[in-house]
Amino acid sequence: MKNRFLGCLILFVIGAGLVVGAYFAGNAFGRKYSAEITADKPRAMEPAKPSAPGKDSGVPLSRGKITLYIPDEKQGEAAVRSVSAGSPDDPAGDKLTQSMVLLVKRLVRDGNLPPDTRLVGKVRVKNSVASIDFSEEIRSFSGSTLEEAQLANSLASTAVANGEGVQKIRILVCGSRVETLGGHLDLSEPFGPDLQ
């Protein structure tokens, strides 16, 4: 009788510990994706009105705001949500390149891009197409079809929102065109927001 009671007590304590651990793990995971998001609700590719500057942007405030579109894991589609990341500090105002640098840092931090992924040089615009050149590290992207679509939409939406006259983007890796990032979407031609 005593052993049975002790066994039940041990199982109860272990079960309670698992429940408490799962609760805190769930809250920590939820905070990862909701912290510092200033938009009221997710938006599917429509230009957003920037809200208060982001705390983590590292970019001092000056004349114009930068709007980043980040993947929205809570949506069951290739949706992104906008966040305000501050303003460009450069008086010459290469807002497009600065917005892409900030976006790439955010995507790496949030685990949407492989570690150490970065831009190679400035974003170039020709005939309303922004060419965004990434470092070799982006080739190790291994996301699902949805994650690749969210990443593509995030890049295109941010470029269109921050690049004057930009309508589409082209992804390059070390100066060369790519056909795909994760093997799911055809990115060989320039594309705009709402890529599905």
CA distance 35 to 149: 23
Q: Which residues of the chain have pLDDT under 70?
A: 1-2, 8, 15-17, 19-64, 75-93, 195-196
What radius of gyration do the chain's Cα atoms show? 21
**Burial readout 160-194 (b: 16 or more C-beta within 10 A, e: otherwise):** bbbbeebbbbbbbbeeeeeeebbeebebeebbbbe
Predicted model pTM: 0.64
CA distance 146 to 50: 25
Q: What is the pLDDT of residues 68-91, one digit of tens each?
A: 988 877 765 555 666 665 555 554
Residue 169 backbone phi and psi in degrees, to 5: -130, 160
CA distance 195 to 188: 13
Could you tell me which residues come within 8 angstroms of residue 144 by beta carbon, excluding any fewer than 6 positions away? 182, 184
